[in-house]
Amino acid sequence: MSEWVKLTYVHSSIGANYHQKATVRTLGFRKLHQSRVVPNTPSLVGMLRSVAHLVKVEPAEAPTSPFAEKE
């Protein structure tokens, strides 16, 4: 996989156990269809393994800062 991944929260965590709900919140999701670009780390892979049925994972480019200097 790439260095960065795009995560999208696609299925509700209603009915999921407490640990899966907590993992979704730890990933930074509050509402369905939210997306985040995060670095691909071993701890992230472990979290995604527990909520793979709730989150869609895609490779992504490194995010750029809106404050980066333009040439």
pLDDT tens-digit series, residues 44-69 = 999 999 999 999 999 998 888 777 66
Q: What is the pLDDT of residues 9-20, one digit of tens each?
A: 999 999 999 999
User: What is the C-alpha separation between 5 and 7, in angstroms, rounded?
Assistant: 6
- With tokens 């269809």, the residue in question is 33
Where are the chain's structural domains? 4-60
pLDDT at 23 over 90: yes
Per-residue H/E/C for 9-60: ECCCCCCCCHHHHHHHHHCCCCCCCCEEEEECCHHHHHHHHHCCCCEEEEEE
41 touches 48 (CB < 8 A): no
pLDDT at 1 over 60: no
CATH of 4-60, one of 3.30.1390.20, 1.10.150.20, 3.40.309.10, 1.10.579.10: 3.30.1390.20
